[in-house]
Structure formats: structure tokens, C-alpha cells
Amino acid sequence: MTNEIIIKEGFHKDKPQLFLNFAYDSQLIYLLKNKVNANWSQTHNTWYMSNSEALLKKLKQELEPLGVTLHISEELKEFTESKGTLTTEANEKVLQLMQWMRSRRYSESTIGTYTDALRIFLRYYSSKNISDISNSDVILFNNEYVLARKLSNSFQNQVVNAIKLFFRTVENKTIDIASVHRPKREKLLPNVLSKEEVKLILEAKGNLKHKAMLSLIYSCGLRCGELLSLKPEHIDSKRNLLIIKQAKGKKDRIAPLSNKTIALLREYYKAHKPEIYLFEGQEKGTPYYVRSLQQVLKQAVKTAGILKPVTLHWLRHSYATHLLEGGTDLRYIQEVLGHKSSKTTEIYTHVSTKSIQNIVSPFDFL
């Protein structure tokens, strides 16, 4: 049986739920279904159960004797460590924002991020009427909650964005965000593997399905969600193209498929015969589980003897950097990756070694 479940709070079908993330395990799924009435969410690609303290306690009692550890996500820890509880009014307001965002076709991921951040903020001010919250309250929250807990810059920005959207759309009230201090955006370089390291990782998997998934992420520069949403009809082998439907920003795009990749996919398709999704989970017709894919990569990295904390997104970064070092124009890389702005793509010029390796250190002439 899998040894850990990560639990995160969220909404599904407009009701507060607890999402349960774990590597696929048929025995564990049987227990979840029968002990806490857990269900599968196609929308969120995860198992979920009612957000109930009693059910969570029961889950612990059932699973801990079996050696299964329950990990409370950082977001849920933040919820439970807030000053107060979320009032009925606040819950309804969060739901209103969710419905507004959904009507405007925001992605479920963005909706989850904004409503999570908003719940933390409203729980902090649970003793105050929402209509009385002002700019000074937002500034105080930043100082006494975000900064005091040394939470990340991105979290602080998410809260500010969520508050701004909430008050504008639900409360019809303007919060002067200009007076609320935002942190400077961190300028982090993408993590990139060498071609040799990528080869070691891809060849570390003897399992054909696992190798096909990791290879396709690298060979087309895919995001994890884009890979798991693929269907067999998205492969155009006659034109050597992969069609990525409704990716980030609700945009379709295409990526070139090499003959080597097509040959690997054909071998995989004949062996596994997927029905709906290109890469399906243990149950036919359901997409492969994201946490299971993360575990696949983790094992491949370990087998390859690589000590770096490699994530699936590193493969996408490596693909872009290797294209640039191979002489591909930045404009084409931008299109293939699906970047809205060329400035996003230009970051790979800072990690490409093509020009830097030509620089001769003055130390060599001493």
C-alpha cells in the first residue's frame, strides 16, 4: 500500500472538499471509498471527500495503523493556523467569487489558487464585517500574517490579486492595490539538465509507458497537465505534429514530433491500447495521475544516479534551452512552448551555455 497521502482543502461542485493526492493504489482506493465515501474528480484529477473534521479523524484512525502517513498541505496548514474560522457569510462570498471566475472560464487551477488565498484572508478577519475591510486591513494582513510567517513572495501576490478581484466583482468595492505593498518579483533562472543527464533519466525507465511519458514531456516541451490531457487523436503522425488543446491561457498550439518520438509512441500504443486519454491510469478511460507521474520521474532520477532535485518542469526547461543552444530562433521556441510574451522565452538565453562557453577567463593568462 502507498505510504502517504497529501491532503489539500478546496471546492468541488461548489462544495468545500478535501482533495487526497497519492500514488495509485487499488487497496487504498477501496478503503477510501468504503470508509470515508471518497469519490474521483475528473475535473481536478484526484480523489476527494467531504471537508469534515470527523471524517478526517476517521481517515487517520483507519490508515495510520496500516503505515499510511497523512500529510497536511501547506495551504491547509495556513487555513487551520488562522486566527478564526470562516463564517457562513464568508463561505458564501468565496463561492460567489468561484462562480464568477468559472463563468468567465478561468482555469480550475487559477480558481483554486485565488479562492484558497481569499479564504485565508477572510478567516484572518473573521471577527470583522467584510464590508468594513479596508486598504489598511490588507496592509496589516501583509505585515502580521504573510511577513510574520515568512511566506513566499508568490503567495503574497496571490493574496493581493485575489483580494482585488473579490472586492471588485463580488463586493463592488475598490481596494486601492497601489497602496498595498507588493514584493518585487523574484528573478529566478530555470533549472536545466544537460543532454547527457536527460538521456540517463529517459533510459532509466524499463517500463515502456513511463519512458513514453517522460520522453514526450522532454521532446515537445510539455507541461505536466498538457501531457496528461493528451488524447490519441492529438498525434498527427503524417505531419509529425503534436496538437496541444486548450493549454495554459486557453490556447491551442502545435509542437514538432520527431520520428524517434513517433516510433516510441507507436510501440506504446500497440502495447497499451489507450481508450480515451493517451496515457491512462489503472482504470481505463481515466487520465494518468499526476502524483504517480511525479513518482515515476523520481525513481528514474534515482536510478540514473542524479542527485539534483529534478521535477517534471525541468524537462520542459531543458528542452527549450537545448533548442536555443542548437540554433533554433527564439520566436519559434516561444510558439512551441506557448509563451504569451517573448520576454518569458528570453530567460533561456541566461542559462544557455552556447555563448558563455566561448568566454575565456583572464585567469587562464595569469
CA proximity to 87, closest of 58, 64, 121, 59 = 121
239 is catalytic: no
Active-site residue, selected from the candidate residues 248, 269, 272, 298: 248
218 is catalytic: no
Reduced to 3 states (helix: H, G, I; strand: E, B; else coil), residue 195 is helix
The cell for 310 is 529534478
The helix (H) or strand (E) run that includes residue 115 is helix 108-124
313 is catalytic: yes
Residue at grid coordinates 488524447? 231
Active-site residue, selected from the candidate residues 168, 223, 231, 272: 223
322 is catalytic: no
Residue at grid coordinates 534515482? 302
C-beta of residue 138 within 8 angstroms of C-beta of residue 178: no
CA proximity to 282, closest of 218, 201, 225, 209 = 209
119 is catalytic: no
The cell for 7 is 491532503
Which residues, 6+ apart, have CB-to-CB distance to 218 below 8 Å? 198, 202, 315, 316, 318, 319
Residue type, 95: L
DSSP 39-65: EEETTTTEEEEE--HHHHHHHHHHHGG
C-beta of residue 95 within 8 angstroms of C-beta of residue 86: no
12 is catalytic: no
Burial class (CB in 10 A: 0-12, 13-18, 19+), 30: exposed
Active-site residue, selected from the candidate residues 123, 291, 316, 322: 316
Q: Which residues are catalytic?
A: 223, 248, 313, 316, 339, 348
